[in-house]
Structure 1
């Protein structure tokens, strides 16, 4: 079943130059999403001004969902953005993922009831990333020596239809919410992301463990849904031990619902909407 509408959620934190490249790539989509929601984890004034400037000319609604800067809280930030969404299908990317022009088309094509979709990323070198920033452009060639994992950069609908089912994994392993899609109802059914996750890591894996435990299956999108990952230094892992423990508990207890999730944000969004 094809989605009736698509909300694209873009996480960001104080990297407006990267976010601008992402927004430019969204504007050039062959199939536009119905809305874009920036899940902002506490960025400053420069990011706010960038979003306001793009809102004036953006071809679809561009919504700024912001929370206070109180550490790395990607889970809560995504929940806030999803709560504001108006579409029945949610596609999530990070604010350092520049999109191939058929990104949304490919995600819509593969969407299937009772499945979530894990996309892939193309790793860019520091030199190519610097060039993109310098020229404020995003076209990237598959044949560039600065593109590392070239197999992920091939866009071929025929290969995608044939090989995506064959190459799909069944577990939470290698989950990356930087290129991910799911039905909004499936997300709400498990209470979204777990707001208890603070600091980098495992909030997306734990989220997927609960989706799987709730009967939602995984499919991997191959040879389509291409997103180019801008180079940057790795985030700090200081909270990873605690986050690993939360993930292990979700697996051990076969959890399908978290207590501190999206429900509270849905209630807030409804009040503001009224």
Structure 2
């Protein structure tokens, strides 16, 4: 069902060549108690199998799905997210990844604390390889999500709505534990910061860098705890070859108070945006 609200919502889902994982993500969208207005899949160069999966899921997910794709030229998450944000119709962007199963109230919890001048950072539940295999083969259940948690993330599987709302402005807001798979922004704030920094390529730091750039520009951040639950399906680690270089860009943003990147979303926007 949809809850009445005075703003439109886009759920942005990043993916790359994991159609079986993406299927679970999109199935979890269909189970939401409150739906987004659209889903935009930011596809960093997947093969045709992902396109076919998205086409098949359009009959299951009860909101429009946009598929924003570019050719595979390496890990270009910042670039494809910018292209997806440029294509998004929603005023509010909920961001996740295509290896995440969303809790049923993910959209409801995020939109309940949406407030102009603020971005939101959430948490995730880490699932192990055996639990992930069962979910991919047999589907998700809250039992599997609850008892498959690892790395001390068990508490992130609990939803207490009133407590999450209460803590959102009181929890540690230093943005030291930023999860790109569970974030929310106003689209106009993203555009003001020029979106993701496309000088950041390969794994790491793109999410923390954009949050600090927006904070430098005056956007405050809330932390969504005990709500907006996101279950992270296990997969092998990605290459960290670019992590140090990306962290250097992130550090420069923080220390120099940078509010807008040069190599960002503006190249994909028309004059009306």
Aligned counterpart, 2:172: 168
Q: Distance in 2 between matches of 1:39 and 1:223?
A: 27
Aligned counterpart, 1:183: 186
- The C-alpha deviation readout for 1:110-133, integer Å capped at 9, x for no partner, is 111111000110111111111101
Equivalent of residue 217 in structure 1, options 206, 211, 220 = 220
Q: Distance in 1 between matches of 2:128 and 2:178?
A: 22
Aligned counterpart, 1:145: 147
Contact 2:45 2:72 in 1 (8 A): yes
Equivalent of residue 268 in structure 2, options 259, 265, 268 = 265
TM alignment of 1:6-45, pairs within 5 A: 6-45=9-48
In structure 2, stretches of 5+ residues that fail to align are: none
* 1:54 Cα deviation from its structure 2 partner: 1.4
Q: How does the TM-score come out when normalised to structure 1?
A: 0.93
Contact 2:191 2:266 in 1 (8 A): yes
Contact 1:117 1:182 in 2 (8 A): yes
Contact 2:146 2:157 in 1 (8 A): no
Q: Distance in 2 between matches of 1:118 and 1:53?
A: 31
- The C-alpha deviation readout for 1:1-56, integer Å capped at 9, x for no partner, is x6511000000000000000000000010000000000000000110110111124
In structure 1, stretches of 5+ residues that fail to align are: none
Aligned counterpart, 1:249: 252
Q: Distance in 2 between matches of 1:142 and 1:40?
A: 28
Is it true that 1:238 corresponds to 2:262 in the alignment?
no
* 1:168 Cα deviation from its structure 2 partner: 3.4
Most deviating of 229-238 and 2-11: 2-11
Q: CA RMSD in A?
A: 1.7
Aligned counterpart, 2:158: 154
Alignment: residue pair count: 267
Distance 1:67 1:158, change over 3 A: same
Contact 2:127 2:145 in 1 (8 A): no
Distance 1:71 1:100, change over 3 A: same
